Amino acid sequence: MNANPMPAPALNLQDGASAAALPLSDSVRESLAIVKRGVEELLIEAEFVQKLVASEESGQPLRIKLGLDPTAPDLHLGHTVVLNKMRQLQDLGHTVIFLIGDFTSMIGDPSGRNVTRPPLTREQIEQNAKTYFSQASLVLDPARTEIRYNSEWCDPLGARGMIELSARYTVARILEREDFTKRFKAGTPISVHELLYPLMQGYDSVALKADLEIGGTDQKFNLLVGRELQKDYGQPQQCILTMPLLEGLDGVEKMSKSKGNYIGITEPANTMFAKVMSISDAMMWRYYDLLSFRAIAEIAQLRRDVEGGRNPRDIKVLLAQEIVERFHSRKAAEEALADFNHRARGGIPDEVPEVSLTGAPLGIGQLLKQANLCPSSSEALRMVEQGGVRIDGATISDKGLKVDAGTFVVQVGKRKFARVTLS
């Protein structure tokens, strides 16, 4: 995880101003507990508490900002960690701003990058933005979400405005960013427009008068730039909240489509359910903290239940059903559980993709590859060797098997099935 800290003066931490020292109402204490749940950092906590108190006294909701560059159209559960936090704040009555970075997408966020991102076309940005919000609406309440595009205030800046904005920050401060430092030392090119990215993201906070900005841990530098610019423009400074990066199904690497350890939020209910059930018992609690909407006290009770001897599988089923219901429906969650139990007993699912192949007799490796059950014939043979391939329920152990013409159900692993007609 890239924390990318700013220098100490930028934080201006108030060592003696602890949240606990303030006379807080029960509702403020409860709100603070919800906000801090599962977070990496809340900066500066004492300032945020003051904002909560002021909001309660005035009845004026806080303005909560989340910016997303529509660089890819598909979201997985790792992306929803920050969206879940936004939904929690939304349910507390605060104003949630879903900021689509259609202007900053033309630069590309350099966070965690060792090369310059290729720029997106206007058409790509617009299409991705539509998909982003439709998927994000599976978590957020769209009726209570303010949707903004940063081209609203970035385009009117023009060349003169961009120069004036750039004059408010130094190259030295920008280069303190870890990503830039590494690239500079390695002699990797850094384009001038990339140096502008943290500045433009920070300017978004000025334009929106944000009270709190949320991002992943790799966004910390950009979020702090927002604080500094707001101060420079004479605004109250936003607090920042960073969320951890969710580990994928392997329990090690962060969830990523490229690593194949992800759960897509538009995947079929049965697939989503089975993937959640595949995580380890230990990782399950991490998923509960970052993905579940259950009350903190309820999750604590589930932990005690497991410690008292309850089967962790039962608790994992509750999590899988909650996630499937969120992105599909309660009925889909119930059917996914039934399907999972059916498969666990060695059963074949009711709905199996049908595939027609030619070339009988066909080698088992080629059959599995052509049926899209394995990415390659070598991977197919490895699965045969491991006893992970079945035809009509019978385990296949012969890597040299030639399959004759006919219709049969082929299974690879626990979740991949195909009804193959071979001629």
Q: Each residue of 277-286: pLDDT tens digit?
A: 888 888 999 9
Contact in structure between 195 and 45 (CB atoms under 8 Å): no
Per-residue pLDDT, averaged over 210-228, amounts to 90
Instruction: Please check whether the domain covering 269-344 is classified as CATH 3.40.50.300.
Output: no
| Residue ranges per structural domain of the chain | 8-243, 269-344, 354-422
pLDDT at 185 over 90: no
Query: What is the rounded average pLDDT of the residues 160-185?
Result: 80
Residue with tokens 């391939």, as numbered in its chain: 389
Q: What is the model's pLDDT at position 219? A: 84
**Mean pLDDT for the stretch of residues 39-65:** 94
CATH 3.10.20.600 correct for 354-422? no
pLDDT at 328 > cutoff 70? yes
Average pLDDT, the chain: 84
The candidate with the shortest Cα–Cα distance to 68, out of 139, 166, 170, is 139
Instruction: Give the residue among 133, 134, 103 at the shortest CA–CA distance from 120.
Output: 103
pTM of this structure: 0.71
Tokens coding 66: 């989340």
Residue 410 buriedness (CB in 10 A; 0-12 / 13-18 / 19+): buried
Which tens digits make up the pLDDT trace of 261-301? 899 999 999 889 989 988 888 899 999 999 998 988 999 99
Task: Check residue 72 and give its pLDDT.
Answer: 66
d(CA 370, CA 347): 23
First to last CA, the chain: 52
Q: Any idea which architecture 8-243 has in CATH?
A: 3-Layer(aba) Sandwich (3.40)
Rg (CA), the chain: 25
Nearest to 204, CA basis, from 71, 66, 308, 82: 66
Tokens encoding 263: 């759960």
